[in-house]
Amino acid sequence: MKELEVFFKSALTVDNVIFGFDEAELKILLIKRGEEPYSDEWALPGHFVYPSEDLETAAVRVLEEMTGLRNVYLEQVRTFGAANRHPFGRVITTAYFSLIKIADYKLQAAGIAKKAKWLPISAAQNLPFDHNEILGACFNMLKRLVRTRPVGFELLPPKFTLTELQHLYEAILEVPLDKRNFRKKILSMNLLIDLDESQEGVAHRPARLFSFDRGKYEEFLSDGFNFEVKESKGKTKMS
C-alpha cells in the first residue's frame, strides 16, 4: 500500500467561468484573490473540493461563497491537469461555465475573494495559474454551443429588436454578421414572435419588437439546431 501513497497526494479544485451579457457586450466574472498564491490578482472564481463533495456541488458552493451568485446553471467543460499548473503542488481542476444576464444577479464578494466584478473578456489578460487557458476553452465551447442551441435568447429583455439579437450573437462569436443574412436565418427558424410593436422614445427610426416562442424555444433546447450565418464580409464563419 505504501507505494500507492504518492497517488493520494494530489488536490482537486473547481474553477467557474461565468460569462455575462448586459445588452451591450459579453463579460467575464473575476474575483480578486485574498490568499496566496497570487494574492491581490484577478482570477476565475475557484477553490478546493472538500473530500466529501462531488465536483458539481463544489462548483456551486465555491461560486456562491466567492461571488454571491445562486441558482446558476453550471455545465462541466473539461479537466485541466498540467503537473506544474499550481505553484504549491499537484492540483487538478475541473472547469464549469455558464452564461447569465448580468442585470439579474447581484455580486457579493466573500471568502477568499476580496472583490468580484465583471470585465470585458478582452481585458481578462495575464490571469494566474492556467486561467487564461481555462477561459479560452470555455469561450470556445460557448461559441460552439451558440450554433447548436438558442443559448442567448433569455439574456435579452422580454421584448427585443433583431438588431439587439444580432449584437448578442456578434458578442459571443466575435465577428460582425451580415445583417440581411442573419435576419433571414433567424426568421426562417420560426423561433420569434412578431409583437406588432415598435420601439418608443428612441432618436432613430423605431425598430420592430419581438419575443421568443417559448414552445419552440424549449424544442430547440431539447433537439438543437444548426445556426450558420455569414460574416459581414461575405465569408461563412463556422467554428
Query: What would the mean pLDDT of 4-14 be, rounded to a whole number?
Result: 87
The model's pTM: 0.89
Side chain identity at residue 181, one-letter code: N
pLDDT at 238: 37
Domains of the chain plus CATH, in order, are 2-145 (3.90.79.10), 153-223 (1.10.10.10)
Q: Give yes or no for residue 152 having a pLDDT over 50.
A: yes
Contacts of 210 (CB under 8 A, 6+ apart): 159, 160, 161, 162, 165, 192, 193, 194, 195
Q: Say what the pLDDT of residue 239 is.
A: 35
Average pLDDT, stretch 13-27? 92
β-sheet bridge partners, residue 97: 17, 75
When pLDDT is averaged across residues 45-67 and rounded to a whole number, the result is 97
The reported pLDDT for the residue numbered 132 is 98
More confident residue, 228 or 195: 195
What whole-number distance in Å separates Cα of residue 113 and Cα of residue 39?
10
CA 80, CA 182: separation in Å to the nearest integer? 36
Q: Has residue 236 got a pLDDT over 50?
A: no
Q: What is the pLDDT of residues 57-97, one digit of tens each?
A: 999 999 999 999 999 999 999 999 999 999 999 999 999 99
